Structure 1
Amino acid sequence: MSTTIIDRPEAPVPERGPAVSAGPPRPTLAKRFRAEQLTAWAFIAPVVAYLAIFYAYPLYRNVDLSVRDYTVRSFIDGSAPFVGLANFVAVFQSPTFGPALTNTLLFTGVSILFQFSLGMALAVFFFQNFRLSSTLRALFLVPWLLPLIVSASTWSWMMNSDSGVINSVISSFGGGQVNWLTSPQWALTAVIIANIWIGIPFNLVILYSGLQNISTDIYEAAALDGANAWQKFWRITFPLLRPVSAITILLGLVYTLKVFDIIWIMTKGGPGDASTTFAIWSYQLGFGSTLPSFSPAAAVGNLLIVMALIFGFLYLRVQRKQAQ
């Protein structure tokens, strides 16, 4: 039996085109992660360098100054011996420590109290958007825009015992002469008044911006419920402004603790220690005599830093409680 084999035509073979290149190999996940890290560090490097140069290193040098016995000669030959906490002990035992601490707390506390209260009152007042509101609000910024040396010199002239404007006004109402800058009883009050005047615009601007973030619908609903102006402020404005108020008070505390220009120009910390704060005392120790005490001056400066840190931690604690 024979088998017939039928030849089938072969299928045409398709022509091959040019080889397609697979391209460069894709980076692995580890390489991509490393590249992202380098990019992040490149962006953060300027900030880190700025903080290291202008904050970390000066703070380290200030701490080093406070734990060594530095003199003018020590800065030249670098032979300042390590004395530990001896400079801090000397500061605490100094007769100036008590008055300086009291003046610092009074100057800071009274200034913040009146700056915040008056700033809040003015912010609520200007929030009514009456005619000339913008113009008057801009005029209130003048004390904040003036250089501190100009403001302090102006207040020194106004509070001059013999030819000052303030004493002239007091005498016109039958009052006696007040030695604002030369009396131990009035020197601290004089610099506090000047500092309050300078700090009100800052509180006004921050609190006014906070008021703009409060919806007017809340006030309209309160008005429909019969709330008066005081109830609106105490039940709506003040609670909703707490986050803004907290940061305003914190910044004011940190700034007021280190105020130097106003006090030095007006009273130089005198008479005696009547208006001496930690900032003034630190300057007097470091640069106020022919034989400067650099290390005790640095110790006083560190006390100011500790006080500012305490207020900062208190602010963070309050913020955490409000967030819970």
Structure 2
Amino acid sequence: MNRTTHPPDRRATLDRTGAATAAPPTDRTAPRRRPTSQQWAAWAFLAPVTLYLVLFYAYPLYRNLDLSLRNYTVRSFVQGDAPFTGLKNYETVFQDPTFGPALAHTVTFTAVCLLFQYAIGLALAVFFHQHFRLSATLRALFLVPWLLPLIVSASTWSWMLNSDSGIVNSVLNAVGIDSVNWLTSPEWSLTSVIIANIWIGVPFNLVVLYSGLQSIPGSLYEAAALDGAGAWRRFWNITFPLLRPVSAITLLLGLVYTLKVFDIIWIMTKGGPADSSTTFATWSYQLGFGNLLPAFGPGAAVGNLLVVAALAFGLVYLRVQRKQYAS
């Protein structure tokens, strides 16, 4: 059997005189390009951010997940030989009598705070958008609750709502109303921490929503005024619809912040009395650090529930944003 050998593919090319010459064989495997100086610079700028995310976000989340899947004690926490228990810590949390009230308090605390923070912040943003005299000064004063350390704000509210010497009960007594046990009554403890957290969160909503109002063209209001639209109608037909993207991110950030509020509740009521103001944030701390025999696993499980809730709302926000951009 004769074997025919095929010569290498040499495509003919024409030189300047028009004669056909054989082109050199082409190399089908292109050489690997080395990173340029610009690419190295880009990686250099990304390295600190990546390192920060790994050290302060990825690793703590991994450790918290590992805590919730093992039976950690004080000894095993130090030595690192805790046995793997799977989802047993989550079962312990779901079967705990505190789970139901803590869930209800967390939902109530988050929903009421978000509603009033957004409503009051939006009303103040529209009010200051009028650009009257002393508008900038008053707007700066409203930022004071946001700038104060949380421990200072919580301590101040604890003093104001004190049953015996608080200024709130003094005002109530002055108008003929009996004193209220704001911090020591199971009926009022959750309301007290909600009021304090609303006061702290309003400035954030004011700043973000006021920035959103600055981006709305004034010509739209002028055209609506020429058409005879009143202030209320201009708000519902122009201001509120155009503020939807800003409102969405404001509510999302407020939701994530409110879910993990711990300082205010712990300083004012410590989750009591009788767990009447206990939320998932304070319950997680009590399980992990509030007892002589800490339950690290269940405490980490409660913390992971908060992470999952925040992540779920974040995914919902991204889905809504994609639909808006697609339409």
Deviation of 1:175 (Å): 1.0
CA distance in 2, matches of 1:186, 1:76: 41
- Alignment match, 1:226: 228
* TM-score normalised to structure 1 length: 0.89
CA distance in 2, matches of 1:202, 1:69: 40
* Structure label with greater radius of gyration: 1
CA distance in 1, matches of 2:245, 2:78: 49
- Alignment match, 2:258: 256
Matched, 1:95 2:89: no
Q: Give the aligned residue type for 1:184.
A: P
- Alignment match, 2:79: 77
Deviation of 1:36 (Å): 4.8
Deviation of 1:43 (Å): 2.1
Q: What is the root-mean-square deviation in Å for CA atoms of aligned residues?
A: 1.3
CA distance in 2, matches of 1:36, 1:76: 45
CA distance in 2, matches of 1:131, 1:270: 45
- Alignment match, 1:179: 181
Name whichever of 313-322 and 220-229 sits farther off: 313-322
* Residue identity (%): 73
Q: 1:58 aligns with which of 57, 60, 81?
A: 60
Deviation of 1:267 (Å): 0.1
- Alignment match, 1:193: 195
- Alignment match, 2:299: 297
CA distance in 2, matches of 1:253, 1:41: 34
CA distance in 2, matches of 1:113, 1:290: 38
Matched, 1:124 2:134: no
CA distance in 2, matches of 1:301, 1:204: 29
Deviation of 1:35 (Å): 5.2
Matched, 1:207 2:209: yes
CA distance in 2, matches of 1:194, 1:285: 25
CA distance in 2, matches of 1:149, 1:51: 27
> What is the CA deviation profile of residues 251-301 of structure 1, one whole-angstrom value per residue up to 9, with x for unaligned ones?
000000000000000000000110000000000001101100011100000
Q: 1:144 aligns with which of 143, 146, 153?
A: 146
- Alignment match, 1:237: 239
CA distance in 1, matches of 2:57, 2:194: 29
Deviation of 1:29 (Å): 8.3
SS of the residue 2:59 aligns to: helix
Deviation of 1:172 (Å): 1.4
- Alignment match, 2:155: 153
CA distance in 2, matches of 1:32, 1:123: 53
Matched, 1:283 2:282: no
Deviation of 1:160 (Å): 0.6
Deviation of 1:34 (Å): 5.6
Q: Give the aligned residue type for 1:227.
A: A
- Alignment match, 1:48: 50
> What is the CA deviation profile of residues 59-91 of structure 1, one whole-angstrom value per residue up to 9, with x for unaligned ones?
000000000000001023222000000000000
SS of the residue 1:166 aligns to: helix
CA distance in 2, matches of 1:247, 1:322: 14
- Alignment match, 1:310: 312
CA distance in 1, matches of 2:39, 2:170: 68
CA distance in 1, matches of 2:273, 2:104: 15
CA distance in 2, matches of 1:41, 1:29: 22
> What is the CA deviation profile of residues 196-215 of structure 1, one whole-angstrom value per residue up to 9, with x for unaligned ones?
00000000000001100111
Q: Give the aligned residue type for 1:238.
A: F
- Structure 1: which 5+ runs fail to align? 1-27
CA distance in 1, matches of 2:315, 2:78: 38
Deviation of 1:45 (Å): 1.4
CA distance in 1, matches of 2:69, 2:111: 30
Q: Map of 1:18-33 to 2, 5 A cutoff?
A: 30-31=32-33
CA distance in 1, matches of 2:79, 2:193: 41
CA distance in 2, matches of 1:278, 1:110: 16
